[in-house]
Amino acid sequence: MADRSIARRYARAFFELAEEVDQVAQVGNELTSALDGLRSHDGELFAALSNPVFTLAERRDVLEQVVPRLNVGYLARNLLFVLLEKGRFRLLPEVVELYNGYADEKAGRARVLVETAEPLTPQLETEVIAALQQVTGKHVLIETRVDPSLIGGMIARVGGTVYDASVRTRLQNIKQRLLSAATPAEA
């Protein structure tokens, strides 16, 4: 819990800095891209930069060599080095997530994860987005995943709210009702 609080402070501070120079979206994109780059190749680079087994000087040298390839501006670069210097580099994924949450909130966006048994058609995806925009009152950015175990229907996760209209859940609910309604046979 302490880590989440610390990550929140870094994310908020850098969000406010980006806001001051009107670069909220740009910094968010750069941080997301940098994190993706650092996590590529099985996350070995991210793990090394987060690992206190290596000296701070060694990790700083590695980051100095990597940063030009990450294509980040001065604010995103500064965040990477501040986290490294303060021994908090392992918090980068959480800081990026929280930063993007602040940016979404400011822009009136909602990120939604939609899971379906089969891939959504473009038409159905448009309908789902429209329905979720109506429910949330925000512009919806949708990420889709396929989970054949759902059998049919979908599950949408909007922040902490889950809308579950999957066949799997409906069948589980029916099973529970049948089992709870079952009474021993009379003799």
Question: pLDDT (tens digit, 9 = 90+) per residue, 3-23?
Answer: 999 999 999 999 999 999 999
Average per-residue pLDDT in the chain? 92
| pTM confidence score | 0.78
Mean pLDDT of 91-109: 95
> Which one of 80, 105, 130 terminates a domain?
105
**Pair 112, 143: CB distance under 8 Å:** yes
> Pick from 105, 128, 144: which residue ends a domain?
105
Strand order in the sheet with 139-146: 139-146, 109-116, 154-158, 161-164
Does residue 83 share a domain with residue 57?
yes
State whether 113 and 38 are in the same domain: no
Chosen domain end from 64, 88, 105? 105
> What local confidence, expressed as pLDDT, does residue 2 receive?
82
Average pLDDT over residues 37-49: 93
Are residues 99 and 9 part of one domain?
Answer: yes
Residue 162 binned pLDDT confidence (cut-offs 50, 70, 90): very high
Is residue 1's pLDDT more than 70?
no
Q: What is the pLDDT of residue 32?
A: 96
Mean pLDDT of 133-151: 93
Rounded distance between C-alpha atoms, residue 30 and residue 147, angstroms: 30
Q: Which of helix, strand or coil describes residue 114? A: strand
Query: pLDDT tens across 109-125, in order?
Result: 999 999 999 999 999 99
Residue 100's CATH number: 1.10.520.20
